[in-house]
Amino acid sequence: MLKMLRYIFISLSLGAGIVAGAQVQKEKWQPSKGFTLGVNVAGPVNKAFDKSRSGISFLSRMSVKDQMMFLAEAGYENVSFSKKRYHYTSNGTFLKAGLEYDVFKEKEAGSNDNLLFGLHYGYALQEQSASYFIIENGYWDDYTGSIGTNTVNTHWIELTGGPRMELFKNFYIAWTFHIKVAIYRDNPNILAPYLIPGFGNGDNRLNAGFSYTMEYLIPWKKGKTK
């Protein structure tokens, strides 16, 4: 619920900002082109709220056409915790790639801001194990056991949307809303992953989430007025 409220608030705020910006006199402006190197701070933020998780990812966006960008992201996410019913460890990496379309067609002079909607493919490879688990019987003896290390491959498709802006020259910040649908996962019956790197909750086939990124643009073509 908090997540939804947060999304609504952010959307309304940005919507207001975009409308305000649209009233400014426009010139035919061709924005900078190049590729960015950036970091997704979702991993460190998650770590701050959930000590059992650690991870980070790095991304790059590259201009393909006037309003089209190619995005690639790679990162890792590890989980380790002990619950009453089981102890769990997972180490994994993920890759994402896809195209993003900038719906800001007419930009005001000097603006390199974007409102990006994208379609990405994601893949995660992780090793997980449960070094201990207990099943309580309530009458007969309880059962304790362990699950050895097993490998899980997950593939998913992701729809994204969100604004990106140039905060300082060539330095961008962006937040993105993600809807992710798992299309394939192997080893589903041994132990469903607690968390799939880059995808989220392993119990769900459909996950939604936010990311917040910071990027630095290495331009090969500077923005200019036509």
Partner 1 sequence: MRIKPLLLIVAGFIYLMVPGGCNQDELCLSNQHALQTGFYSAFNVKRDSVLKNTDVYGLDFNNLIYENQDISKMFLPLSFQDDTSVFVISNNSLFDTIWVVHSKELLFISRECGFTFDFTIDTVLYTKTFVDSVALFYPKVIYGENVENVKIYLY
Q: Which residues bind partner 1 (CB under 8 A)?
A: 1-3, 6, 9-10, 13-14, 16-18, 20-22, 24, 42, 45-46, 48-49, 83, 85-86, 88, 104, 106-108, 111, 113, 115, 130, 133-135, 137-143, 145, 163-165, 167, 173-175, 189-192, 194, 200-203, 209-210, 212
DSSP secondary structure letter of residue 170: T
Where do we find the tokens 């802006």?
Answer: 165
Contacts of 95 (CB under 8 A, 6+ apart): 72, 73, 74, 122, 123, 124, 198
Least separation in angstroms between CB 35 and partner 1: 21
Least separation in angstroms between CB 59 and partner 1: 16
Measured from the CB atom, the residue of 97 and 171 that comes closer to partner 1 is 171
Measured from the CB atom, the residue of 73 and 113 that comes closer to partner 1 is 113
Residues recorded for the chain = 226
DSSP secondary structure letter of residue 39: E
> Residue 61 burial by CB count (10 A; 0-12/13-18/19+): exposed, middle or buried?
buried
Least separation in angstroms between CB 24 and partner 1: 7
Least separation in angstroms between CB 153 and partner 1: 17
| Kind plus residue range of the DSSP H or E element containing 201 | strand 200-201
Measured from the CB atom, the residue of 124 and 174 that comes closer to partner 1 is 174
Contacts of 86 (CB under 8 A, 6+ apart): 130, 132, 133, 134
Neighbouring-strand partners of residue 58: 39, 74
Measured from the CB atom, the residue of 139 and 225 that comes closer to partner 1 is 139
Measured from the CB atom, the residue of 70 and 133 that comes closer to partner 1 is 133
The encoded tokens of residue 83 equal 């619950």
Least separation in angstroms between CB 200 and partner 1: 8
